[in-house]
Amino acid sequence: MAEPKVIRDLRQVVFDTGIVLAETALVAADQDIDDCTGYATVTEPTGAGNITLDAIAARLEHPRNVVITITAGGGFTAGLAVVYGEGLKGIAIKEAFTLTGGGTYTGNLPFISITKANIYAVTGTLTASDNIKIGNGAKIGMPMPEGAKLVNIIKERFHGADIAVTPANISRTYGTYIPTSTLDGAKVLELWYTVDIPLIW
């Protein structure tokens, strides 16, 4: 079977001075796991979710992956988490995480916004020092239409200077790129990239 025909499109995106490398508690501030609703249930709770999210205005300001940080200071041994939101292509997405103890769990999907986050199937006898928080990671989602695939990052410019692209930081599977630059929230990031858009006629 022949490969589908595509149009290769060169695109540019400029992220303003608010973009930072990563923010560990932008989506959900540090909070006790045992204060969450349904954290010990075997199946995922329904309804509005059980992790308290920060205000909408404080959530992901740019398309990014999410990072969950678990502080297992007491009896937390394992659990499951699911983050829900809107993806780069304007459709609802979710990402599941298997938590095996304290540490940082890095997601892959780029979210534009987060609407709900659940933690459940938690094991262990929890104390007030077993906490969870959610922030954005370093993987920036490259805007593209539905069905398109990221091909390459052509150019990275940071604060008006050309920066060498790090090929290993390109994820064509998820359409993300970790900039070579150290994003500090005070300088503009500019990326030129190519995508393949399938022809549907």
Three-class SS state of 15: strand
Q: DSSP states of 116-145 as a string?
A: EEEEEEEES---TTEEEEEEEEEEEEPP--
Per the model's pLDDT, the better-predicted residue between 7 and 200 turns out to be 7
Burial class (CB in 10 A: 0-12, 13-18, 19+), 55: exposed
Give dist(CA 10, CA 108) in Å, integer.
23
Burial degree of 161 (CB within 10 A; 0-12, 13-18, 19+): exposed
Predicted confidence band of residue 2 (pLDDT cuts 50, 70, 90): low
State residue 196's pLDDT score: 96
Enter the pTM of the model. 0.91
- The pLDDT tens digits of the residues spanning 95-145 come to 999 999 999 999 999 999 898 899 999 999 998 899 999 999 999 999 998
Q: Report the pLDDT value the prediction gives residue 146, as an integer from 0 to 100.
A: 84
User: Could you tell me which residues are beta bridge partners of residue 92?
Assistant: 86
Q: Is the predicted pLDDT of residue 25 greater than 90, yes or no? A: no
Judged by DSSP in three states, 58 sits in helix
- In this prediction, residue 201 has a pLDDT band, given cuts at 50, 70 and 90, of low
The residue with tokens 């790090």 is 166
* Residue 16: burial class (beta carbons within 10 Å; 0-12, 13-18, 19+): exposed
Better-scored residue on pLDDT, 21 or 164: 164
From the list 140, 157, 44, 46, the residue with the least C-alpha distance to 88 is 140
What's the pLDDT score for residue 50? 87
Of 85, 114, 86, 88, nearest in space to 176 by CA:
88
Query: Does residue 199 register a pLDDT over 90?
Result: no
Cα(175)–Cα(156) distance, integer angstroms: 16
184 secondary structure, DSSP code: B
Is residue 96 within 8 Å of 82, Cβ to Cβ?
yes
